[in-house]
Amino acid sequence: MHFSVRDIGLFRDKTNQFVFISSASAYQKPPVHPVITESTPLCNPFWEYSRNKIACEERLIHAYRDERFPVTIVRPSLTYDTVIPVAIGGWTEYTVIDRMKKGLQIIVHGDGASLWTVTHAEDFAKGFIGLLGHPQAIGEAFTITSDEILTWDQIYRTIAHAAGCEAHLVHIASDFIVACEETLRGGLLGDKSCSVIFDNSTIRRIVPDFHATIPLRVGIRKTLEWFDADPARKIVRRETHEMMDRILHAYLG
């Protein structure tokens, strides 16, 4: 994920704008303030993915300062379209929906009351496209997210409602989950376990017409329709079911 001198050299003097897709997970974890702006420090001791994104940003900004390399940095958060935007059992998998439809217990990290933002890709694209070719975007970083703020309980229940079922939620501390399944450390402690509110004023300064208009209750229906259109897309992994059951058993006894 790190950029090299050769990588930058391939684009030097060949492009008027180099757009790097970073990640909002690069912002300070845990945050000292829940409102995240582009000036929030970049520091994530929990997730190598985020540290690699930070390293890429630093290398590109160094190139901008030293040689005016025309970089624009974009930091999306949890952005979805053809993926299930949950912390465990989702993304390219259909496992969490399978559990919901079967009436099985669903793990929600923490108490379910922490705040999060889920952004539909079509909304993200409105801000992203507005940056392309914009001279004031060079050398700058931009957070692009929805302004809809939801608790994780609301996210899971909204998804379950769209799937035509109920979500039987079990709240488990993120530290406990990670102790049971180390592979979840980055995505939880380094990202989704923290309450955050993203400030989109910077992207609106450059792209005044940017407004996210697709709430989760609407966007997730589009997502589930995409899965329904081809049964082969509904990937249900036995290993994920077993992992969730193992964590639940360890917690509930």
pLDDT mean values, one per 10 residues, the chain (253 residues): 69 93 97 96 98 95 96 98 97 98 98 97 98 98 98 98 98 98 97 96 97 98 98 98 98 94
pTM over cut 0.75: yes
CA distance 245 to 242: 5
Q: If DSSP codes are grouped into helix, strand and coil, which group holds residue 106?
A: strand
Could you give the CA distance from residue 51 to residue 54 in angstroms, rounded to a whole number?
5
The pLDDT of residue 91 is 96
Rounded Cα–Cα distance for residues 160 and 72 (Å): 37
Q: Residue ranges per domain, the chain? A: 5-252
Q: Which CATH number fits domain 5-252: 1.20.1440.230, 3.50.50.60, 3.40.50.720, 3.30.830.10?
A: 3.40.50.720
Contact 69, 60 (CB under 8 A): yes
CB hemisphere CA count around 231 (13 angstroms): 0
- Enumerate residues 6+ apart whose C-beta is below 8 A from 110: 152, 171, 173, 174, 193
Q: What is the pLDDT of residue 166?
A: 96
Can you give the C-alpha Rg of the chain in angstroms?
19
DSSP 8-state secondary structure symbol assigned to residue 253: -
Q: What is the pLDDT of residue 72?
A: 97
Looking at residue 3, its pLDDT comes to: 56
Q: Output the CA–CA distances (angstroms, integers) from residue 88 to 177, 184, 223, in the order listed.
A: 10, 8, 17
| End-to-end CA gap in the chain | 41
pLDDT at 7: 78
Question: Structure tokens of 22?
Answer: 């970073």
